Amino acid sequence: MVVGFTGWSTLIPIAMQRRRIGMMVTQTTRANLETLCDYLVAGRLKPHIEHRFSFDEMPQAMSLLESGRARGKIVVSR
């Protein structure tokens, strides 16, 4: 399942690894977000996190995001 679809070029490397891909387009409602949360907890949905940054590394995270080279999600945490 791809959440936060950013373009077909994101899916090509995943497809080449012969992974199962699903897509879902939906409205952002509480019920739909709860369903996504249930999928995450159950392991049915795995977000593709490319890189994790600390809050102090925000400039590097923004640089990667703005470069357009990120294939997965970028996570920034404290």
DSSP letters spanning 22-37:
-B------HHHHHHHH
Q: What is the pLDDT of residues 23-77, one digit of tens each?
A: 666 788 899 889 888 988 998 888 888 899 999 999 999 999 899 888 788 899 8
Q: Which helix (H) or strand (E) holds 42?
A: helix 30-42
pLDDT of residue 2: 41
Alpha carbon distance 59, 43 (integer Å):
32
Query: Per the confidence metrics, is the pTM higher than 0.75?
Result: no
pLDDT of residue 60: 94
More confident residue, 12 or 25: 25
The domain limits of the chain are: 1-46, 48-78
Q: What is the pLDDT of residues 29-39, one digit of tens each?
A: 899 889 888 98
β strands within the chain, DSSP E: 49-54, 73-77
